[in-house]
């Protein structure tokens, strides 16, 4: 029995967008949902209580980092990450593989797993699919990810096919190693690079297994936006309608709106929290950099319609004085940016439910491109699901 129920509440009659209720062991989450990234067991200085107030009920932790520090022994003693960080809502962990390949220069992939040199003592280590699941079982997140063979999204040739096929083999090893299917949901990952045929083949092979949901991986890594949306489109066409679809590493507002139209339900990205550190605030008309002198005497909040504690208490003029210097500024912008992501997803969900999603997409796009100079990729992507931007 799976530890996840997924109920589609409403479908957009035009696009592939849907609003659903996903119930996980630590509570129900409405989708489409954006998950902020709390890499090492905390979300950029925010207290769990602050996240709750922001209506954020599902966050992501990184297996690679948590496996290093504090490590699985302590995680076990603490009774899992929920307890350790005092978070009573849902968690998702990645497999650790992606972080390893992108952070460690010496990582080498073999059929056995990901071989790497420990950044701490230089010793040779191996992350196998079994090991990844074992760590994630100890961390205890509500959704865990299979170890996949990650290749750069711009890689071409036989390596892409090899990685796709190995990802399927590794999925079977992950499923066999998974100890707690009744309380943790293992998601497979659709790979296949930018090759439509490989993507299709991978998705079709994965859906033969009875997993509670699916992820689309290997994208958002430097490929062209034109390739990006087509791969998402192809994948969601094949993935079953009655299970959640998670697009990994995507979080820009425009991408979220377009990919919701393509039928994606879950997203994660470090961008909204990382950009806060550099003084960037997100708004429905694009991002603003509060370091700029033009905000020196701007006594309005970041967004007058935002009800976050930052917009309630602080002006742009004051933020301009403290961004990039005081940690408080980082907290304030993180709060606002997380709230922005949540508000965007709320708007997407409510418009799907009221049948006004198409109108919403059009007005949203006009908001960020008042001159109507829409990027070709988003025009094409939306066109493919029946929305014409004019």
Partner 1 sequence: MQLSFVVFKTMKKFCVEKTLKTSVGSTRLGHLELPLFTKAEEGNDGSSNGRSKIDYATPMYFLHTQTGSIPHITAEVLKLIYPTASDTSGQIPPVQISLDATAKFIEPLSKFENGVGKFVGLSEHPIFLTIHDPLYLLRSGHNDKFGIALWSRHGRRPLSPKQFHEAVTAFKPSISQILSDYDVNPEISGMKRLKKSLERAEEYTSYVIKQEETTEREKKKNTGFFITIEASWFLMDEGLATKAVLRLLESQHQIEGVVLAGLSDRFVKKKQEDEVKKDSNGKGSGDSERMDICETLDIELLDKMLQNLPANLPKYVPGPFKLPEMMDLVARGVDLFDSSLASRMADYAEALLLDSVEAILPSISTTMVAMPSSLSEGLAERADKAERQEPPSNSEEGEGAVISLKDKKYFDDFGPLSRFCTCYTCRKHTRSYIHHLYATDELLGPVLIQIHNLSTLDRFFSIMRALVKENDSPESLLEKSALMRNLLKARILIKIEKEDKVAVPSV
Tokens of 333: 């912008």
HSE at residue 309, side-chain half, CA atoms within 13 A, is 14
What is the distance between the alpha carbons of residues 166 and 138, in angstroms, rounded to a whole number? 25
Cβ neighbours of residue 83 closer than 8 Å, sequence gap 6 or more? none
Contact predicate 343/54, CB 8 Å = no
Rule CB under 8 A: say whether 328 interacts with partner 1: yes
Q: Which stretch binds partner 1 (CB under 8 A): 219-227, 296-304, 350-358, 366-374?
A: 296-304
Q: Which stretch binds partner 1 (CB under 8 A): 12-20, 36-44, 180-188, 264-272?
A: 36-44
Rule CB under 5 A: say whether 311 interacts with Zn ion: yes
Catalytic one of 90, 94, 148, 265: 94
Per-residue burial over 4-35, b = 16 or more CB atoms within 10 Å of its CB, e = otherwise: bebeeebbbeebbbbbbebebbbeebbbbbbb
Rule CB under 5 A: say whether 343 interacts with Zn ion: no
Q: Which one, 44 or 233, has the nearer CB to partner 1?
A: 44
Q: Which stretch binds partner 1 (CB under 8 A): 69-77, 97-105, 237-245, 362-370?
A: 69-77
CA-closest candidate to residue 344, choices 296, 272, 295: 272
The entry of Zn ion, partner 1, none that residue 297 binds, CB within 5 to 8 Å by partner kind: partner 1
What is the distance between the alpha carbons of residues 178 and 211, in angstroms, rounded to a whole number? 12
Is 303 a catalytic site residue? no
Is 268 a catalytic site residue? yes
Rule CB under 8 A: say whether 44 interacts with partner 1: yes
Among 7, 86, 209, 241, binds partner 1 (CB under 8 A): 86
Q: Is 39 exposed, middle or buried (0-12, 13-18, 19+ CB in 10 A)?
A: middle
- H/E stretch holding 237 reads helix 225-238
Catalytic one of 149, 265, 268, 303: 268
What is the distance between the alpha carbons of residues 164 and 149, in angstroms, rounded to a whole number? 7
Contact predicate 316/322, CB 8 Å = no
Rule CB under 8 A: say whether 233 interacts with partner 1: no
The entry of partner 1, Zn ion, none that residue 306 binds, CB within 5 to 8 Å by partner kind: Zn ion
Q: Which stretch binds partner 1 (CB under 8 A): 188-196, 237-245, 280-288, 292-300?
A: 292-300
Residues forming contacts to partner 1 in the complex (CB under 8 A) are 40-50, 53, 65, 69-70, 74, 77-78, 84-86, 296-297, 299, 309-310, 313-315, 317-318, 321-322, 325-332, 335
Active site residues: 94, 268
Q: Contact residues for Zn ion (CB under 5 A)?
A: 306, 308, 310-311, 336
């Amino acid at each position: 029995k799976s530890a996840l129920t997924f109920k589609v509440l409403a479908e957009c009659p035009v696009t592939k967008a849907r609003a659903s209720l996903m119930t996980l062991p630590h509570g129900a989450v409405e989708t489409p949902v954006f998950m902020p990234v709390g890499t090492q067991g905390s979300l950029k200085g925010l207290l769990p209580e602050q996240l709750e107030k922001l209506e954020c009920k599902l966050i992501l932790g990184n297996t690679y980092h948590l496996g290093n520090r504090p490590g699985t022994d302590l995680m076990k003693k603490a009774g899992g990450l929920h307890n350790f960080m005092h978070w009573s809502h849902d968690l998702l962990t990645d497999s650790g593989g992606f972080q390893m390949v992108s952070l460690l220069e010496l990582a080498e992939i073999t059929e056995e797993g990901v071989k790497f040199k420990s950044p701490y003592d230089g010793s040779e280590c191996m992350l196998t699919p079994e090991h990844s699941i074992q760590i994630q079982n100890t961390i205890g997140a509500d959704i865990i990810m299979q170890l996949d063979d990650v290749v750069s999204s711009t890689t071409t040739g036989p390596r892409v096919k090899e990685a796709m096929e190995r990802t399927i083999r590794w999925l079977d090893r992950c499923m066999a190693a998974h100890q707690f299917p009744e309380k943790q949901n293992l998601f497979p990952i659709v790979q296949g690079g930018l090759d439509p045929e490989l993507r299709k083949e991978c998705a079709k092979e994965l859906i033969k297994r009875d997993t509670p949901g699916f992820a689309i991986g290997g994208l958002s890594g430097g490929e062209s936006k034109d390739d990006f949306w087509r791969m998402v489109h192809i994948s969601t066409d094949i993935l079953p309608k009655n299970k959640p679809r998670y697009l990994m590493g995507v979080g820009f507002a425009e991408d979220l709106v377009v990919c919701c139209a393509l039928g994606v339900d879950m997203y994660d990205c470090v961008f909204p929290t990382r950009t806060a550190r550099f003084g960037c605030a997100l708004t429905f008309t694009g991002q603003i950099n509060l370091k700029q002198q033009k905000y020196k005497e701007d006594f309005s909040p970041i967004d007058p319609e935002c009800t976050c504690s930052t917009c309630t208490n602080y002006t742009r003029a004051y933020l301009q004085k403290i961004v990039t210097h005081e940690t408080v500024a980082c907290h304030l912008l993180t709060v606002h940016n997380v709230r922005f992501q949540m508000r965007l997803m709320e708007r997407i969900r409510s418009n799907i439910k009221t049948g006004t999603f198409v109108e919403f997409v059009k007005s949203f796009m006009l908001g960020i491109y008042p001159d109507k100079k829409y990027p070709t990729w988003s025009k094409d992507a939306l066109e493919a699901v029946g929305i014409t931007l004019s």
